[in-house]
Amino acid sequence: MAAILKVEQLSMQYTSGQRQLSVLQDINISIEEGETVAITGPSGSGKTTLMGLCAALDNPTSGQITLLGTVVNPLTEDQRAILRNKHIGFIFQNFQLLPSLTALENVMLPLELQGIKGAEAEAERLLERVGLKDRMTHYPTQLSGGEQQRVALARAFINKPKILFADEPTGNLDGDTGATVESLMFDLNKDYGTTLIIVTHNPDLASRTGRIIKLRSGHIVSDLKNDPATAIN
Amino acid sequence: MSNFSFLIQTAYRDSRKNRSKLVLFMSSIVLGVAALVAINSFNYNLRNEIDKEAATLLGADLAASGNRPAEAGILRVLDSLPAERAREMEMLSMAYIPKTDESQFVRLKALEGNFPFYGKIKAEPAEAATTFRSGPFALVDRGLMLQHGLQSGDSIRIGKMMFMIQGKLDGSVGSVGMASAVAPAIYINLTSLDSTGLVQPGSLINYAYYYKVPEGFNIEKWKKDRKSLFKSDQLRVETVESRKENLNKAFSFLNYFLNLVAIVALLLGCIGVASSVMIYVRSKTNSIALLRCLGMKPMDAFLVYFIQIVALGLIGVIMGVLTGVLIQSALPVILKDFIPVTVNNALSPKAISEGFFLGISVTTLFALLPLVSIRNISPLRTLRVETEASSGAFDYLKTGILVIIGIVLIGFLWLLTSSFLTSLAFVAGIIVSYLILSGLSSLIITMLRKSIPSNAGFVTRQGLSNLFRPDNQTQTIMVTIGMGTAVLTTLMILQSLLLNNVSMMDAGKQPNMILYGIETNQMDDLKKLTLASGLPVIQEVPVVTMKIDGWKGRTKAQWLADSLMTAERWAVNREARVSYRDTISDDEKLVSGKLRKYNNEGDSIFVSLGTTFADAMDAEIGDEIVFNVQGTRIVTYVGSLREIEFRNLSTRFFIIFPTGVLEKAPQFQVVVTKTPDNSTMSKYRTEVVKAFPNVSVVDLTTILQSVNDILKKVSFVIRFMAIFSLLTGMIVLISSLLLSKYQRLKESILLRTIGATRSQIIKINATEYAFLGFLSAGTGVFIAVLSSFLVTKFQLKLDYQIAWWPVVGIIVGIVTITVVIGMLNSRDIVSSPPLEVLRKEGS
């Protein structure tokens, strides 16, 4: 199977005052289409930075990222925006819904950005799929945390992304709600055949993926295949 | 651009829950544009009215006036006009009102002929404007009649003659309401004037000659052909065209002032716009980052917010135009005392379109300053990563926008004032004022930040620290409220300072009453009356009127024909009122030469000149000056120069002759006295006017009252304008409080969660607002004290004193308003349960 994401010799440094802060060093990863991958590690290990770089949200200090066969580094911000909009889905720990849009409008947004007609019907279908048929016209502040994350899930899948990045998707939810969202995410992932990359602290969530990459102090310390069938649900 | 209709839709959706937050942003625009439209509409209507009414303002096709009768030669030329003629003599005098046994200082206008030929004298009843001309009748200022309870049919005595009042005078031709604050007008007919006995040698009279030419007669050409003739005399010859020109010149200052106020109001509004948009954009940072994350291009993200701001700005500008049109109808009423025409409140398409286009462009440009930072918001913000790159690099785009703002403003002002340099100076002045205010605010904030005492209570420290929280608007609020406070306080200080200086004239043994126009044979009786009233005769001064015939060996005519003449025309042409004595008075200081006596007939006559007059004449010690004393030429030499102080109410003379020269010349006397109180002053004045009708009395109370009336009217107008600035400041305050509410909310909730009581939160907020109000008002007052000090010392050359209580009152007032507005805005932060608030406000 072809690699949907290829990271080569990747390093990332930030300048903090007078000091150079090395967040990632010499990272090499190759992820194939349809894979489910968990990136884990302690706080400050560089997980989120790595995800941001892989999702074309930022430029590395050095190294190369190839996403869907396209080298991301030389792309302009507009070209990256188009790439994200057409092929990438996002789920965030703090849901990141636009407070001024209803649940339905939030879900429609990625398709509307592409200028696709009929976004509303697709968004309604997806909201129904995540169990929010009756909450479509509600604003984020009128929804519980679990409901907000389900809206975010619907939004993430509406553009049928090739690759989905999830940043601690259950980090802000209680156990039961988190489990519901988790199941929905994996079900949708399966239905849409999406490549899934999850950044998480949660070992249970990580164990439901097919591959676990562990980071420590900006280095990959392990990159192991995992059998999700053995995961405790 | 991906899809413009989608961007509009997103902009609409995004603004849906925030529109109320942006209402105040719109209010800033509304105020600024309203001021601009109102003021410019008034300006254009005023100019139109002056153009339209010029003939009515002059009342004739040609008017010649001066402070002595026109010379026979000139009068012959004027009378050669194929025209209908009228004549007017105007003087200040006393009137005695038998009904109340009171006297009043008045402006007497004695008329002959059918003047005004254009327009009319406004009177009630209307026919009174005609009937007063037919006998010993008077048309009396409405205010004066009201003050003394007079009715048509009552009597009023002017000089030695009693007049029957025919009606109330509501406005004379070409005069402004302000004039009646000094002395109310009374019209009589010219033939009755002689019988009053007021016209004597030395009386201060303005003579006017009016002409109405037949239609088709080119009066401009006629005047132009005789230009040199009119130039050589002190007669001022005006036609409708020249009056129009003069009026437009006179009002150009008012125009500049009003334009300045309008532009300042608009710019203050724009500061409000920029600061509210900045905070709005910051509150939207996460949404923008998410939109970017989901694939929106940077330019499209910028457009989503740009569309919102432009749409709301457009609504604000339209509302501003409508408000401006409403305010404009009030301006003619407020300014009526300053203008000689009735300005209508017609809609001015020019002012409206200017207000609209300038409002929309300046609002958009000022909003662009914070909006362009949207392009720097990284999509990475969605991932908890703090990546705000504040590179500190030079931002060419923002600088470009600032330059465009400058160009637009200069261009607009250029359009208004027709002078590029003035526009440039205008904009530079505004920038400098802003820089001074914001520099001063910044300095105060820095000093305060460093000096928060660590041992101050928690509430005080927390309240003060709030002034420096991220996204604070402390400096913007200080600048806007400070500017309004500075204008208001400067006015107040200057007004009370001028009044104090006038009332200081009354202090101690300084004289407070002058009686003039006394005939020599009345002197003994008048002195007796004065002493019998228990008042001192501080000075008795003879006055002789004369003209200058020549100086430094050349005649006046030769000098006037010389384009290199260094003397000033006012000094050369004036009818001089001269006294004679051999001593220096208390108000004078000899700065050069000495007072030389005239001992024997045939001796040289040495006069003493005031330094101001000597400078105007370009005269030095030893120079020859030839005077014409009612037909007799007297050759004199400058013997000394005196510096004259004008602080006290007293007689002052630019020219003093030695004794022994003028004693036999026709003259009148002046007596100076001091009354202990107002009632004595009023009683004495009435007795003098009854016994000596030709004598005029000027007293300090009248002067003080007139100065006060004038200052009140002037300052009311300026205050009205300063209110715009203060209102804008308050709107910036409210909008910044509203927009930073979530931040305050989070802090308050945290504080309440960890155990702060409701009253502690209230105190913290009140402390913050009180300091904010105090710092803003304090900055304004500081600038006001400084500017009024500079004006007083260097412009007015007076002693500087401040009545501090009103200043303290202004500070307390502004602090109170700030605290009240602040507390009203944050009442739900303190009154609702933390969770409820968080759920409602948070996202």
Total CB pairs under 8 A between chain A and B: 96
| Cross-chain residue pair A110–B286, CB shorter than 8 Å | no
The residue ranges of DSSP E strands in B498-623, in sequence order, are 513-519, 537-551, 554-555, 576-580, 588-593, 605-610
Q: Does some domain include residue A82?
A: yes
Q: Does some domain include residue A233?
A: no
Q: Does some domain include residue A232?
A: no
Give the C-alpha separation, A84 to B252, whole Å.
Answer: 62
Average pLDDT (B766-774) is: 88
Residues B258 and B377 in one domain: yes
| Cross-chain residue pair B382–A48, CB shorter than 8 Å | no
Residue with the bigger pLDDT between A135 and B731: it is A135
Query: Average per-residue pLDDT in chain B?
Result: 80
Identify from B286, B302, B843 which residue to disrupt to test chain A contact, counting A C-beta atoms within 10 A and taking the largest count: B843
Q: Does some domain include residue B515?
A: no
Closest CA to A170 of A187, A203, A190, A146: A146
Q: Do A206 and A166 touch, CB atoms closer than 8 A?
A: no
pLDDT given at position B231: 66
Q: Does some domain include residue B72?
A: yes
Q: Parallel, antiparallel, or unpaired: how do β-strands A163-167 and A195-199 relate?
A: parallel
pLDDT given at position B741: 63
pLDDT given at position B465: 76
Query: Does residue A6 belong to the interface with chain B, where contact is any CB pair within 8 Å?
Result: no
Residue with the bigger pLDDT between B162 and B760: it is B162
Side chain identity at residue B407, one-letter code: I
Residue with the bigger pLDDT between B152 and B746: it is B152
Average pLDDT (A148-172) is: 92
| Cis, peptide link before residue B116, omega less than 30° from 0 | yes
The CA-atom distances, in angstroms, between B249 and each of B245, B254, B336, B470 are 6, 10, 18, 51
Smallest CA–CA distance, residue B304 to chain A, in Å, is: 12
Total domains present in chain B: 4
CATH of the domain at A215: 3.40.50.300
- Supply the range of the domain harboring residue A115: 3-226
| Cross-chain residue pair A78–B297, CB shorter than 8 Å | yes
Give the C-alpha separation, B731 to B759, whole Å.
Answer: 27
Q: Do B215 and B376 touch, CB atoms closer than 8 A?
A: no
Q: Parallel, antiparallel, or unpaired: how do β-strands B102-112 and B84-97 relate?
A: antiparallel
End of a domain among B196, B216, B236? B216
Residues B271 and B413 in one domain: yes
Give the C-alpha separation, B87 to B40, whole Å.
Answer: 38
Residues B32 and B144 in one domain: no
Q: Parallel, antiparallel, or unpaired: how do β-strands A211-216 and B185-189 relate?
A: unpaired
| Cross-chain residue pair B6–A112, CB shorter than 8 Å | yes
Average pLDDT (A69-83) is: 88
pLDDT band at A210 (very low <50, low <70, confident <90, very high): very high
Average pLDDT (A138-154) is: 90
Query: Does residue B285 belong to the interface with chain A, where contact is any CB pair within 8 Å?
Result: no
Highest-scoring range by mean pLDDT, A54-63, B367-376, B416-425, B715-724 = A54-63
Look at B80-94, B131-145, B502-516, B625-639 and tell me which has the smallest mean pLDDT: B502-516
Chain A residue numbers with beta carbons less than 8 Å from the beta carbon of B6 are 112-113, 115
pLDDT given at position B399: 86
pLDDT band at A232 (very low <50, low <70, confident <90, very high): very low
Highest-scoring range by mean pLDDT, B331-335, B690-694, B792-796 = B690-694
The predicted complex's ipTM stands at 0.76
Smallest CA–CA distance, residue A227 to chain B, in Å, is: 28
Residue B747 has pLDDT above 80, yes or no: no
pLDDT given at position B56: 76
Chain A residue numbers with beta carbons less than 8 Å from the beta carbon of B383 are 48, 51-52, 57, 92, 167
Residues B722 and B739 in one domain: yes
Exposure b/e, A194-217, CB count within 10 A at least 16 = b: bbbbbbbebeebbbbbbbbbbbee
Query: Does residue B283 belong to the interface with chain A, where contact is any CB pair within 8 Å?
Result: no
**Tens digit of each residue's pLDDT (9 = 90 or more) over B126-181:** 888 889 988 899 999 888 888 888 999 999 999 889 999 999 988 766 555 545 55
- Supply the range of the domain harboring residue B256: 1-56+250-384+394-418
Look at A195-204, B366-375, B464-473, B486-495 and tell me which has the smallest mean pLDDT: B464-473
Residues B29 and B78 in one domain: no
Average pLDDT (B306-330) is: 88
Total domains present in chain A: 1
Give the C-alpha separation, A156 to A167, whole Å.
Answer: 12
Instruction: Name the residue of chain B whose CA is nearest to A102's CA.
Output: B13
| Cross-chain residue pair B294–A92, CB shorter than 8 Å | no
Residues B626 and B541 in one domain: yes
Q: Which residue has the tokens 């000899």?
A: B590
Chain A residue numbers with beta carbons less than 8 Å from the beta carbon of B839 are 141
Residues B733 and B777 in one domain: yes
Query: Does residue A24 belong to the interface with chain B, where contact is any CB pair within 8 Å?
Result: no
What is the share, in percent, of chain B residues with pLDDT greater than 70? 82
Identify from B284, B294, B378 which residue to disrupt to test chain A contact, counting A C-beta atoms within 10 A and taking the largest count: B294
Query: Does residue B389 belong to the interface with chain A, where contact is any CB pair within 8 Å?
Result: no
pLDDT given at position B124: 86
Sheet containing A19-32: give its strands across.
A19-32, A3-16, A62-67, A70-71
Residue with the bigger pLDDT between B487 and B741: it is B487
Query: Does residue B385 belong to the interface with chain A, where contact is any CB pair within 8 Å?
Result: yes
Query: Does residue B295 belong to the interface with chain A, where contact is any CB pair within 8 Å?
Result: yes
Q: Which of A51, A88, A155 faces B383 most closely, judged by CB atoms?
A: A51
| Cross-chain residue pair B14–A48, CB shorter than 8 Å | no
| Cross-chain residue pair B294–A85, CB shorter than 8 Å | yes
Residues B146 and B187 in one domain: yes
Smallest CA–CA distance, residue B369 to chain A, in Å, is: 22
Q: Do A13 and A61 touch, CB atoms closer than 8 A?
A: yes
Look at A148-152, B164-168, B411-415 and tell me which has the smallest mean pLDDT: B411-415
Smallest CA–CA distance, residue A228 to chain B, in Å, is: 26
Smallest CA–CA distance, residue B734 to chain A, in Å, is: 22
| Cross-chain residue pair A100–B286, CB shorter than 8 Å | no
Q: Do B65 and B266 touch, CB atoms closer than 8 A?
A: no
pLDDT given at position B337: 66
pLDDT given at position B547: 86
Q: Which of A92, A94, A113 faces B2 most closely, judged by CB atoms?
A: A113
| Cross-chain residue pair B14–A78, CB shorter than 8 Å | no
| Cross-chain residue pair A92–B291, CB shorter than 8 Å | no
Instruction: Name the residue of chain A whose CA is nearest to B384's CA.
Output: A48
| Cross-chain residue pair A78–B298, CB shorter than 8 Å | yes
Q: Does some domain include residue B463?
A: yes
Residue with the bigger pLDDT between B699 and B112: it is B112
Residues B486 and B460 in one domain: yes
What is the share, in percent, of chain B residues with pLDDT greater than 90? 12
Residues 170-209 of A with CB under 8 A from B: none
Average pLDDT (A78-99) is: 86
Tokens at residue B802, please?
């401040």
Chain A residue numbers with beta carbons less than 8 Å from the beta carbon of B374 are none
**Tens digit of each residue's pLDDT (9 = 90 or more) over A130-141:** 999 999 999 888
Look at B13-22, B54-63, B666-675 and tell me which has the smallest mean pLDDT: B13-22
Residues B285 and B143 in one domain: no
| Cross-chain residue pair B382–A92, CB shorter than 8 Å | yes
Average pLDDT (A102-119) is: 85
Average pLDDT (B212-237) is: 80
Residues B808 and B663 in one domain: no
Smallest CA–CA distance, residue B838 to chain A, in Å, is: 10
Which helix (H) or strand (E) segment is B124 a member of? strand B122-124
Instruction: Name the residue of chain A whose CA is nearest to B376's CA.
Output: A77
Which helix (H) or strand (E) segment is B777 a member of? helix B758-790
Q: Does some domain include residue A50?
A: yes
Q: Does some domain include residue A120?
A: yes
Residue B7 has pLDDT above 80, yes or no: yes
Look at A34-48, B148-162, B264-278, B579-593 and tell me which has the smallest mean pLDDT: B264-278
Query: What's the per-residue H, E or C state across A124-166?
Result: HHHHHHCCCHHHCCCCHHHCCHHHHHHHHHHHHHCCCCCEEEE
pLDDT given at position B421: 84
pLDDT given at position B440: 81
Identify from B383, B385, B836, B840 which residue to disrupt to test chain A contact, counting A C-beta atoms within 10 A and taking the largest count: B383
Residues B169 and B91 in one domain: yes
Exposure b/e, A51-73, CB count within 10 A at least 16 = b: bbbbbbbbebeebebbbbeeebe
Q: Which of A48, A86, A98 faces B383 most closely, judged by CB atoms?
A: A48
